[in-house]
Amino acid sequence: RKNYRRGRRALARALREPTTEHLHEWRKFAKHHFYHVRLLERLWPEVMRSLERSLEALTEDLGDEHDLDDLRLALIEHAPPEGLASATTEVLLAIEARRHELRARAFTRGRHLFAEGPRVVTRGFGAHYAAWVAEPEAAPDDAGGDA
């Protein structure tokens, strides 16, 4: 619950001020949430795998956005020769456009993934756990042949 709450707060902070630092902080908590969901996969595999995929896509987008910012900074700090200024400007514009796309996609995904309050989410996981525990033992697989 604590990690999910921190993830929601980090998302809100990144929405207010989408700096590289705030996006990176949000990515860390989204990654933690991803690992927690992965641990709970057996509770309801179809649903949890879908949630895992969405969280993984979110963290990948945020990671790509961060990598592009590192590239942008490297191009600025280590300016190429004057003859490449025009090409460098084009690359920087392409980097910014892609970062904008990645941030927009991440914010859309994040608003859905962190839409519910922490209590609601953890109660839901608790309910799935209770349902999983109540399931009868799986019958042995009879597809093994003529034994």
pTM attached to this predicted model:
0.86
Mean pLDDT along residues 119-129: 95
Element containing residue 58 per DSSP (H, E): helix 45-77
Q: For CA atoms 67, 61, 92, 87, give the dihedral sign.
A: positive
**CA 103 to chain centroid:** 11
Sequence-ordered list of residues with C-beta below 8 angstroms from that of 124, at least 6 positions apart, any chain: 116
Place of tokens 């969280």: 55
Instruction: Give the gyration radius of the chain's Cα atoms.
Output: 21
Q: Residue 139 pLDDT > 70, yes or no?
A: no
> Could you give the 3-state DSSP secondary structure of residue 19?
coil
Residue 140: is its pLDDT beyond 90?
no
Q: Is the distance from CB of 65 to CB of 99 less than 8 angstroms?
A: yes
Q: Percent of the chain, pLDDT > 90?
A: 85
Which of 21-35, 72-86, 110-124 is predicted least confidently?
Answer: 72-86
